[in-house]
Every structure is written in structure tokens, then in C-alpha cells.
């Protein structure tokens, strides 16, 4: 006959956690995550080397003229014109950052703290429009100011989001009228 003492003696406590196996899984997971990030970085560098034929970005002239419009906000990146998912990463154009835009008669000055600044001469501006997205960023319809410009033999779309989205319409109107005026005088 089994007594309570015998039953208590036969019972064992639950297994203790196997720390070696758990540490092995955690280390394996961390190595996998590091490998995925390394692959992403290699892809970014590869895309940059494919776009190495893109000329260097222009710097702003010493005297660009009086500012027509100014805007602060975010730079969301640049893509091949008309292909909103084909991100351009060469020369730092793929780096998101804060931005200060200044439109003058000479062109568009793009100042990006912590990233490469660049200047788009008025003759290279092609169009400005409101859109809903660019590679890596999708907003409500009309939430993004997209400026199309020529750089070398390539047309580029650059996406900007003002701190106050109500400013976008004035930018589209000013840039497009500036382009029409420039085209009218070039004829």
C-alpha cells in the first residue's frame, strides 16, 4: 500500500530551465538579425554603385538672390521621375533628413542638416506637384510636395513634407509659374 510519504518521495520538481539551449537560441537569433541588417546595408551600397554615373550635386551659388519662398520640414528622398519606388541613393539623395528649402530666381536651395546639401538651378526645374508618396513614405493624397528636376541626363523626383502642409500649394504654384516663365524666355 502506498502512503503519502511514498507519494511525496516519488514526486519530482519541475525541470529547471536549460540555460545553455536558451542562450544558444538567443545568440543564433541575434546573429540572424545582424546578418539581415548586413544584407540590407550591402543592398544600399550596391544601389549606390549602380547609380554612380549620376553627376555630383551642385552647391548653392554665393549670391542666389532674394528668397521668394522658404519652408522647413522633412526631406523624404529622391526617386527616378515617374517611378516612385525607384529610390536614388547616390550622393546622399537617399538619406532622409530635416530640410530647409529656399526658392529664389536662381533656383531651389535644399539645406539638410546632417546630410548633403544641394542646389537645383531654375533651368533644371521641370515640375512641382502634390502627391501621396515616394519610396519609403506614403501620406494622405496631396501630403507630399514632389519637385521634378533634371540632373545630368536623368529626371529626378524629390519629396518634401513641410512642417505646415498648407504651404505646399503655394510652392507648387510658385515653382510651376517659375518654370513656365523660364521656358517662355528660352524660346
Q: What's residue 14's pLDDT? A: 63
114 and 168 within one domain: yes
135 and 96 within one domain: yes
User: Is 71 in contact with 110 (CB distance < 8 Å)?
Assistant: no
| 42-64 mean pLDDT | 84
Could you give the number of structural domains in the chain? 2
- Give the domain extent around 31: 18-50
The per-residue pLDDT for range 86-98, each reduced to its tens digit, is: 888 888 888 899 9
DSSP-derived secondary structure letter, 58: B
DSSP-derived secondary structure letter, 161: E
Q: Is the pLDDT of residue 185 over 70?
A: no
The per-residue pLDDT for range 55-87, each reduced to its tens digit, is: 888 888 888 788 899 999 999 989 998 888 888
Q: What is the pTM of this model?
A: 0.74
Amino acid at each position: 500500500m502506498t502512503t503519502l510519504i511514498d507519494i511525496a518521495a516519488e514526486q519530482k520538481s519541475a525541470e529547471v530551465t536549460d540555460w545553455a539551449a536558451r542562450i544558444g537560441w538567443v545568440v543564433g537569433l541575434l546573429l540572424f538579425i545582424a546578418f539581415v541588417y548586413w544584407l540590407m546595408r550591402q543592398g544600399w551600397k550596391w544601389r549606390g554603385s549602380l547609380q554612380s554615373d549620376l553627376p555630383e550635386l551642385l552647391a548653392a551659388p554665393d549670391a542666389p538672390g532674394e528668397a521668394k519662398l522658404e519652408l522647413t520640414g522633412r526631406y523624404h528622398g529622391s526617386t527616378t521621375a515617374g517611378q516612385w519606388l525607384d529610390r536614388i541613393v547616390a550622393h546622399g539623395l537617399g538619406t532622409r533628413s530635416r530640410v530647409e528649402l529656399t526658392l529664389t530666381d536662381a533656383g531651389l536651395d535644399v539645406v539638410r542638416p546632417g546630410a548633403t546639401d544641394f542646389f537645383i538651378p531654375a533651368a533644371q526645374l521641370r515640375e512641382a506637384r502634390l502627391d501621396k508618396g515616394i519610396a519609403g513614405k506614403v501620406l494622405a493624397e496631396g501630403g507630399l510636395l514632389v519637385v521634378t528636376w533634371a540632373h545630368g541626363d536623368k529626371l529626378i523626383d524629390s519629396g518634401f513634407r513641410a512642417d505646415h502642409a498648407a504651404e505646399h500649394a503655394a510652392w507648387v504654384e510658385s515653382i510651376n509659374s517659375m518654370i513656365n516663365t523660364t521656358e517662355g524666355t528660352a524660346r
